[in-house]
């Protein structure tokens, strides 16, 4: 039996990947399931243990070298250049700087924890610390894309887009993937929650968490010019025109995603106000999350999505 290297196997089997995708679609078609809605809830391979995924990206947060990833070799080279030369960035880089904090091993796992986390160290066995990730990108902009999309230069889907692509959503009236950014957009803006080559319906929805009123959180969430019934009739007419336009263009995926976003926007008008209304939450729950608007809004949203 011939033996192939992994790269050789992928080169020879590349044309068969389409058949793999087709094998996943055919059972759904035979059962009469619709593939038109990309956000329909999908059955995972294993029983779900989590209802929501919260990805906190702390842009400008503490370094891994000062938290859970000590590098003893930095003490050896302190004050000197990195062997092989310092990394090239948009500005000159300095010499090697070891962490000023002390580390101690905690828990049954014996994971090292910085002294800046004395209370977190008590429950370190409940955390999963990943220290094997690395990249060749040292500048801020490509590093953000690497963190959120897995590639610093090419256009790839963000992690939230992959989650909704694989699992869908149980609530069709609210976006399954939202991005809550205090103080406006981060570096690279919407690229951090882009859908990439996935259907546009998996793009993240930006929510401006500097505000608490739903009208300021999401643009055009309320229509004050016409009634809900009139707006619904408008949407039905618009949907029919869009479908005719779509059929004439051989079912364009981007156009289909835009049509679905229009329909989602209409459904959001009735549900988004309640989802972000923190006054509906129990007092003791709000006190637990403190005065920050963003944490309370996220809590309120996740309880309804």
How many degrees, rounded to 5, is the angle at CA 158 between CA 157 and CA 164? 90
Highest mean pLDDT (candidates 90-94, 103-107, 187-191, 255-259): 103-107
Q: 205: closest CA among 250, 267, 147? A: 267
Kindly report the average pLDDT of the chain as a whole number: 77
Given a cut of 70, is residue 284 above it in pLDDT?
A: no
The pLDDT, as a whole number, for residue 258 is 75
Q: What is the 3-state secondary structure (H, E, C) of the chain?
A: CCCCCHHHHHHHHHHHHHHHHHHHHHHHHHCCCCCCCCCECCCCCCCCCCCCCCCCCCCCCCCHHHCCCCCCHHHHCCCCCCCCCCCCCCCCCCCCCCCCCCEEEECCCCEEEECCCCCHHHHHHHCCCCCCCCCCCCCHHHHHHHHHHCCCCCCCCCHHHHHHHHHCECCCCCCCCEEEECCCCCCCHHHHHCCCCCCHHHCCEEEECCCCCHHHHCCCCCCCCCCHHHHHHHHHHHHHHHHHHHHCCCCCHHHHHHHHHHHHHHHHHHHHHHHCCHHHCCHHHHHHCCCCHHHHHHHHHHCCC
Q: 68: closest CA among 26, 110, 34? A: 110
Given a cut of 70, is residue 25 above it in pLDDT?
A: no
The pLDDT, as a whole number, for residue 106 is 94
Beta bridge pairs of residue 114 = 103
What angle separates helix 228-247 from helix 253-275, to the nearest 10 degrees?
160
Residue 117 burial class via C-beta count within 10 angstroms: exposed 0-12, middle 13-18, buried 19 and up? middle
Given a cut of 50, is residue 49 above it in pLDDT?
A: yes
Give Cβ neighbours of residue 246 (< 8 Å, ≥ 6 apart): 252, 255, 256, 259
pLDDT tens string 185-228: 788 888 888 988 888 888 888 877 776 677 777 666 777 788 87
The neighbour count for residue 239, using CB atoms within 10 Å, is 14
The pLDDT, as a whole number, for residue 208 is 75
Burial 39-68 (b: 16+ CB within 10 A, else e): beeeeeeeeeeeeeeeeeeeeeeeebebbb
Q: What whole-number percentage of the chain has pLDDT above 90?
A: 11
pTM for the full model? 0.66
The pLDDT, as a whole number, for residue 44 is 82
The pLDDT, as a whole number, for residue 31 is 40
Is-contact 117 100, C-beta < 8 A? no
């Amino acid at each position: 039996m011939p033996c192939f290297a992994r790269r050789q196997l992928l080169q020879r089997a590349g044309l068969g990947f389409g058949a793999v995708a087709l094998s996943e679609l055919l059972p759904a078609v035979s059962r009469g399931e619709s593939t038109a809605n990309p956000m329909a809830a999908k059955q995972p391979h294993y029983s779900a243990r989590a209802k929501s995924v919260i990805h906190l990206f702390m842009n400008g947060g503490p370094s891994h070298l000062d938290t859970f990833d000590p590098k003893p070799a930095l003490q050896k080279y302190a004050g000197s250049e990195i062997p092989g030369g310092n990394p090239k960035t948009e500005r000159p880089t300095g010499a090697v700087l070891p962490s000023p904090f002390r580390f101690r091993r905690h828990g049954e796992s014996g994971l090292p924890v910085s002294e800046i986390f004395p209370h977190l160290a008590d429950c370190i066995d409940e955390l999963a610390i990943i220290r094997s990730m690395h990249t060749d990108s040292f500048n801020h902009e490509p590093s953000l894309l690497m963190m959120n999309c897995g590639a610093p230069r090419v256009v790839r889907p963000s992690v939230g887009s992959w989650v909704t692509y694989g699992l869908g959503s149980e609530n069709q009236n609210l976006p399954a993937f939202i991005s809550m950014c205090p103080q406006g957009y981060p570096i690279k803006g919407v690229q951090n929650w882009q859908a990439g080559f996935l259907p546009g319906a998996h793009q993240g929805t930006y929510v401006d968490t500097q505000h608490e009123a739903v009208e300021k959180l999401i643009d055009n969430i309320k229509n004050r010019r016409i009634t809900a019934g009139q707006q619904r009739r408008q949407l039905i007419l618009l949907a029919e025109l869009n479908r005719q336009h779509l059929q004439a263009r051989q079912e364009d995926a981007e156009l289909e995603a835009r049509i679905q976003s229009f329909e989602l926007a209409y459904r959001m008008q009735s549900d988004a106000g309640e989802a972000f209304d923190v006054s509906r939450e129990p007092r003791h729950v709000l006190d637990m999350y403190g005065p920050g608007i963003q944490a309370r809004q996220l809590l309120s949203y996740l309880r309804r999505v």
